[in-house]
Amino acid sequence: MIKLLLAEDHHLVRGAFVALLGAEPGIEVVAETGRGDEAVRLAVELRPDVAMLDIDMPGLDGLAAAERIAQEAPGCRVMIVTAHGRPGYLRRAMAAGVRGFVGKDNSAAALAKVIKQVHDGGRYIDPELAADALTMEECPLTPRELDTLRAASGGAPVSRIARELSLSEGTVRNYLSSAVTKLAVENRHAAVRRARDMGWL
Amino acid sequence: MIKLLLAEDHHLVRGAFVALLGAEPGIEVVAETGRGDEAVRLAVELRPDVAMLDIDMPGLDGLAAAERIAQEAPGCRVMIVTAHGRPGYLRRAMAAGVRGFVGKDNSAAALAKVIKQVHDGGRYIDPELAADALTMEECPLTPRELDTLRAASGGAPVSRIARELSLSEGTVRNYLSSAVTKLAVENRHAAVRRARDMGWL
DNA sequence: GCCCCGCCATGACAAATGTCATCCAGGATC
DNA sequence: GATCCTGGATGACATTTGTCATGGCGGGGC
């Protein structure tokens, strides 16, 4: 019997997952939560065989939670289920030692199969998402450029970004400009959008 | 037996819903789809008692689908299930004659109850979302302002927006400026964000 | 009819943004 | 130690923006 920890922020979807996977022979849902930090705590406490995490959750996002679980509950295998096929997410997940990565576009049967595969020490990456990630170049932005993009994401003016990061306005403009060039877009707002779409932000 | 049409774009979530609601006594899922246009077609063809629609779907979004179903399959009662509690969405849904509006944060039991309530001719609005919509002012933007905001949403420069809408650049700047003022934000990009958050865009 | 409002358009000016040449510090290389 | 390179930082300059005052046009409402 595979002991499964389930983390997904929407009650309804989570409840549906529990119903679905609870019916699956060989799988037992031992805990469920809607928060990432909560998921880490439960993984440490209950030591499930597999933790299945959504990405966007309050408290701690699924990728960060995966990293923490890998450190604090090493026996627990982690898989990510997400609606957003951002290529960068897959990269981060791999770096965190995640063993399964599937989109919410898959069938329930496929999901159960992946859970078992992951439990048996295997790996499974959604082929479509994997293709995206492989054909895609590495994030070309430097840490500083990412910082400024992040700070600019709310539409904040350069002056505020500069204050926030304790930089001169000129410097901020430079980083943004260089990000815009690298991403081949027209201005920083488009750059923010693009970086976010890629899962880099 | 309530005949239910289910429309939700993620296979996995949809499958889970089917499993969940199929187990519910008195409810029978007669059709399921991941596309809005498909949902309209199925509603017309199968005449289910209740159609349960997600908002973000390919083909036709849930709100537009709701409008079409109200016209083309009047006997079918429509309810919306969504992850995004944008106040504007609720408004549009009400205008389309939707009889149920719930967030994905609810429990499965609550969902089944709402389905039955809607089927019996009642209405149900998620109290939390309703409160948001009521405390919130109507969208203050003119159609033209919305057009320009929409065109600006990708981070496009004014020149391109002007070409797209066949307006002079000055006019575009005017609309955007007025939108920025009305929404009390710092620039058009923040205005786009805000309008989108409100469900106005 | 008259007035108001939304829509379209100009021009001018101030402020924010994008671009570029340049410089510095530290690590890698030879 | 001299050199090269990269990421980080800066200020000057051109361009793009946001803002404001203004005016014309057409359709509803009174």
B76 and B48 in contact (C-beta within 8 Å)?
yes
- Measured in whole angstroms, how far is the alpha carbon of residue A15 from the centre of its chain? 21
Q: If you ran DSSP here, which 8-state letter would residue A74 be given?
A: T
Residue predicted with more confidence, A54 or B19: A54
Q: Which of B37, B38, B31 is nearest to B4 (CA)?
A: B31
Q: What is the residue extent of each domain of chain B?
A: 2-135, 143-198
Pairwise CB contact (< 8 Å): B12 & A154: no
**A-chain residues within 8 Å CB-CB of B33?**
none
Pairs of residues, one from chain A and one from chain B, whose beta carbons lie less than 8 Å apart: 89
Please tell me the distance from the alpha carbon of residue A175 to that of residue A18, in angstroms, as a whole number.
46
Model confidence at B5: pLDDT above 70: yes
Q: From its phi and psi, is residue B113 left (phi > 0), alpha (psi between -120 and 50) or beta? A: alpha
What is residue A73's three-state secondary structure? coil
Distances (CA, A) of B76 to A47, A64, B19, B89: 47, 44, 22, 20
- B58-92 confidence digits (pLDDT tens): 999 899 999 999 989 999 999 999 887 787 888 88
Distances (CA, A) of A144 to A174, B85, B146: 10, 34, 34
Model confidence at A15: pLDDT above 90: no
Please tell me the distance from the alpha carbon of residue A19 to that of residue A17, in angstroms, as a whole number.
5
Q: Which of A44, A48, A122, A89 is nearest to A196 (CA)?
A: A89
Residues with Cβ within 8 Å of residue B136, at least 6 apart in sequence: B87, B198
- Option in A19, A190, A193 nearest B16 (CB): A19
Predicted confidence band at A18 (pLDDT cuts at 50, 70, 90)? confident
pLDDT value at position A137? Answer: 65
Please tell me the distance from the alpha carbon of residue A61 to that of residue A80, in angstroms, as a whole number.
11
Please tell me the distance from the alpha carbon of residue A176 to that of residue A179, in angstroms, as a whole number.
5
Please report the residues numbered 103 through 132 in chain A whose beta carbons come closer than 8 angstroms to any beta carbon of chain B.
103-108, 111
Residues with Cβ within 8 Å of residue A46, at least 6 apart in sequence: A3, A5, A30, A31
- A190: closest CA of chain B, how far (Å): 5
B163 contacts chain A (CB < 8 A): no
B62 and B38 in contact (C-beta within 8 Å)?
no
B74-112 exposure pattern, b = at least 16 Cβ within 10 A, e = fewer: eebbbbbbbbebbbbbbbbbbebebbbbbbbbbebebbb
CATH says B2-135 is which class? alpha beta
**B-chain residues within 8 Å CB-CB of A187?**
155, 157
Two structure tokens written together for B81: 């299930």
B185 contacts chain A (CB < 8 A): yes
Å: B39 CA to D23 C1': 50
Distances (CA, A) of A34 to A62, A73, A100, A120, B47: 10, 19, 20, 26, 36
Annotation: CATH topology of B143-198: Arc Repressor Mutant, subunit A (1.10.10)
- B136-181 confidence digits (pLDDT tens): 667 788 888 888 999 898 888 888 888 888 888 888 998 899 999 8
Please tell me the distance from the alpha carbon of residue A85 to that of residue A91, in angstroms, as a whole number.
11
Q: Which CATH number does the domain A2-134 belong to among 3.40.50.2300, 3.40.50.300, 3.30.40.230, 1.10.3720.10?
A: 3.40.50.2300
Footprint of strand D on the protein (CB under 7 A): A 142-145, 167-168, 170-171, 173-174, 187; B 157-159, 170, 173-174, 176-177, 180-181, 187-189
Predicted confidence band at B12 (pLDDT cuts at 50, 70, 90)? confident
A13 contacts chain B (CB < 8 A): yes
**B-chain residues within 8 Å CB-CB of A186?**
155-157
Angle at B135 between CA B129 and CA B136, to 5 degrees: 90
- B143: closest CA of chain A, how far (Å): 23
Residue predicted with more confidence, A21 or B48: B48
Angle at A113 between CA A110 and CA A117, to 5 degrees: 135
A184 contacts chain B (CB < 8 A): no
- Option in B11, B107, B186 nearest A157 (CB): B186
Mutate to test the interface with B, among A6, A13, A35, A102 (most CBs of B within 10 A): A13
List strand C contacts in B 118-177 (CB < 7 A). 142-145, 166-168, 170-171, 173-174
Please tell me the distance from the alpha carbon of residue A100 to that of residue A119, in angstroms, as a whole number.
10
Q: Is A168 exposed, middle or buried (0-12, 13-18, 19+ CB in 10 A)?
A: exposed
Residue of B nearest to A112 (CA): B12
B11 contacts chain A (CB < 8 A): yes
Please name every residue paired with A6 in a beta bridge, in sequence order, or none if there are none.
A32, A52
User: Among A185-194, B16-25, B75-84, which is the least confidently predicted range?
Assistant: B16-25
